[in-house]
Structure 1
């Protein structure tokens, strides 16, 4: 090889981002970091393709994390290394740790000079991404929890479908009636009592997490933390919170309607629902994209059960720009498109989101009667009742800690007082280290 050719190769290696040797030209692509199931990632690829078709010359590169922990780790590592993505998608419960470190670019000035109007979006989602009064991220969705249920199984067993206004006791009764053995007979009682008749269908699946517990506590008149703005501790020792927590534990320990720890390890609740072995699943809108692949049965959604009053818990993800981005103008153009009515219609059509754009959320793009769930209105009806969990930089640690403790409580039957004490003692140092928006 001639020396001149060697020099050319060296230049190409050094200037790879310019497209040397590949025929590529133009600006660097906007790097978008997201995570999700394959169906969810497909939704973002669809959005990117539409954006690039609408804006010739613009390019977006999708960076796919395997799960939430991988996304957080990738973002932290890339920021520390000086090469962060331009835009990342993150839930309001987790972005505080990056906001507190100045990783997230404030957007108020860009919004002021944009065609985007904050009044077009559901306020509860916009407010969740404000830090020290500044709008840091733009929320793409305003989801909440709902109860997904297998309509075909309900019809087969002659059990009334869940409906608006149902209570926690109604949920327990329905889950009990839907917990069946291989012959289709109801299984009642604890794991020990029903050991000879293992469920072929479980009545309910629910994650042992704070975000599942929160709306139940709130609905019963309790609180999750002592101060929603600047929390210093969990507040699960009140009578209302204790009752909701005990009832959650009793789903396994007293009624045996949720899968055991071993069963969940073998097959997670979402897969169990997909495979027709779970009658109901308490989860957020993001499951819809995956569930639309179901062909073997009909399914729909019902609102959350009520204690004293309906209360939902906010599930919202937003597009955030990194302060270290070297491509901020292009990143903003993509964010504007993703947040526009056109962009939100694209993601809504996949089933992934309850659009934060008010008009789109009320349109056929979201309420399409030809696509399951038929009762998507459930998510819109919940919005006026939705509350956000605290935005504190250490909240991810608090959630991870509480998950393990609540999981043990549900599957081992730990004493309620011990559970509440352990949650309080172990989380207080995390609250003390936390920074607030």
Structure 2
């Protein structure tokens, strides 16, 4: 890790907290108007993160944190516009896959030398967490989690289909078995086997990526060569489209509708991330919700090698903030507070990044945690790229063209490879 010497003014402010500062904070995760400051009882991503932010504002001497309104769907467009206009938030959340883009442009502050003075111990971060916030030898943020795609399971539907053994769901181990299980569920219950957001956000992209990684393939190489128009991608897409073709999954569900279908008891499996475990647990406890017997499973291996899509959330500070030592010190205090509350954020279902939290009984005892302990070992991603966001958009458009408009798999993959190669060549 590269170490920098913190400026004298920043060090003094960190030590004394003498100057009152307003820290603006940009985030996604959804809205929560009544989160309060209790970080232990809030439920769901939006309210848990907002309770941590509210507590930071209430508890850090001389610092007020103001959450800026942002939307998940166009979050990065808003953040880029704020940087372009010279008014980025003092602290903002971002994904690991965006670090090369923002750090590569010099937009983010390199903070490695200032962490310990702010009360953050990077030695307590897991190796993968440190890697997630690192770029070209520098540290450009404070990690908050690892998140990944899971299989959320309605055990009542699976039980009715004869797909439960020893209290755990029986999950498929090949595309053929996936189709067979889906048919069993439909015949036994009349419900769909699998639901996911195939029509809006890039959940379908993440499904295809996972199934390509399971074949030891990827969508582009370290040297910037697009590798999409191939048998591995065809196998991955076909594993999904066979369910659509047989009427065992609905390709027209968006994110909200796919969640509602699962909560209504209309799908045996929902493919979604770690971020909803706490929310679904709370929903399943409600009498009026169709989902009653909820289970969380690692993404099954349908090909040769276990793999699932994964990413991480982190908190970054604009490089321009370093010119204001007092504001910069206040922003680092907010980062330290969020880092201190890693166990509270892990209540969402996300995987923690601090070793001390990962080793704690409190973490081990979180609901459903033992059901997806294998996820960390199979987490995968694409090679780093400054064009990740645009590449994901291309894949989402072309895959949706396959299952929503009838575009041929061959044409979609060929068109995607051409466009992705063009992005990589820029």
Q: TM-score, normalised by structure 2?
A: 0.81
Q: Indicate conservation of the 8 Å contact 2:228/2:414, yes or no.
A: no
Indicate whether 1:239 and 2:231 are aligned. Answer: yes
Q: Secondary structure at the match of 1:59?
A: strand
2:72 maps to: 67
In the TM superposition, what is the alpha-carbon distance from 1:259 to its structure 2 partner? 0.8
Q: Indicate conservation of the 8 Å contact 2:99/2:135, yes or no.
A: no
Q: Secondary structure at the match of 2:233?
A: helix
1:1-400 aligned at under 5 Å gives the runs 27-38=20-31, 39-69=44-74, 71-111=75-115, 113=117, 115-160=119-164, 161-163=168-170, 166-179=173-186, 185-186=189-190, 201-208=191-198, 209-227=204-222, 230-233=223-226, 235-253=227-245, 255-261=246-252, 264=253, 268-294=257-283, 295=286, 296=289, 297-306=292-301, 307-325=303-321, 326=324, 327-340=327-340, 343-349=341-347, 351-368=348-365, 371=367, 374=368, 376-400=369-393
1:423 to 402, 416, 424: 416
Q: Indicate conservation of the 8 Å contact 1:249/1:413, yes or no.
A: no
In the TM superposition, what is the alpha-carbon distance from 1:276 to its structure 2 partner? 2.1
Q: Indicate conservation of the 8 Å contact 2:221/2:383, yes or no.
A: no
* Deviation string, structure 1 residues 63-110 (Cα, Å, up to 9, x no partner): 2312241x2122122222222111111112234332222111112211
Q: CA-atom RMSD, angstroms?
A: 2.6
Q: Indicate conservation of the 8 Å contact 2:23/2:66, yes or no.
A: yes
* Distance (whole Å) between structure 1 residues aligned to residue 382 and residue 349 of structure 2: 21
Q: Secondary structure at the match of 1:149?
A: strand
* Distance (whole Å) between structure 1 residues aligned to residue 255 and residue 124 of structure 2: 44
Q: Indicate conservation of the 8 Å contact 2:118/2:332, yes or no.
A: no
Q: Do the aligned partners of residues 99 and 60 (structure 1) sit closer, same or farther apart at CA in structure 2, a change above 3 Å counting?
A: same
- Larger mean CA deviation between 330-339 and 120-129 belongs to 120-129
Q: Do the aligned partners of residues 141 and 89 (structure 1) sit closer, same or farther apart at CA in structure 2, a change above 3 Å counting?
A: same
In the TM superposition, what is the alpha-carbon distance from 1:331 to its structure 2 partner? 0.6
Q: Indicate conservation of the 8 Å contact 1:92/1:316, yes or no.
A: yes
Q: Indicate conservation of the 8 Å contact 1:223/1:236, yes or no.
A: yes
Q: Indicate conservation of the 8 Å contact 1:143/1:285, yes or no.
A: yes
* Distance (whole Å) between structure 2 residues aligned to residue 378 and residue 330 of structure 1: 39
Q: TM-score, normalised by structure 1?
A: 0.79
Q: Indicate conservation of the 8 Å contact 1:409/1:415, yes or no.
A: yes
Q: Indicate conservation of the 8 Å contact 1:284/1:315, yes or no.
A: no
Q: Do the aligned partners of residues 367 and 412 (structure 1) sit closer, same or farther apart at CA in structure 2, a change above 3 Å counting?
A: farther
Q: Do the aligned partners of residues 73 and 412 (structure 1) sit closer, same or farther apart at CA in structure 2, a change above 3 Å counting?
A: closer
* Deviation string, structure 1 residues 4-48 (Cα, Å, up to 9, x no partner): xxxxxxxxxxxxxxxxxxxxx962321111112344221122112
Q: Do the aligned partners of residues 165 and 249 (structure 1) sit closer, same or farther apart at CA in structure 2, a change above 3 Å counting?
A: closer
Alignment size in residue pairs: 378
Q: Do the aligned partners of residues 265 and 314 (structure 1) sit closer, same or farther apart at CA in structure 2, a change above 3 Å counting?
A: closer
* Deviation string, structure 1 residues 122-158 (Cα, Å, up to 9, x no partner): 3223213322221112221112221001123223444
* Deviation string, structure 1 residues 211-264 (Cα, Å, up to 9, x no partner): 22222111122222122xx4232x1234333322322222212x3222142xx2
* Distance (whole Å) between structure 1 residues aligned to residue 59 and residue 120 of structure 2: 17
1:22 maps to: none
Structure 1 or 2, whichever has the larger Rg, is 1
Q: Indicate conservation of the 8 Å contact 1:90/1:317, yes or no.
A: yes
* Distance (whole Å) between structure 1 residues aligned to residue 248 and residue 363 of structure 2: 32
* Distance (whole Å) between structure 1 residues aligned to residue 330 and residue 350 of structure 2: 24
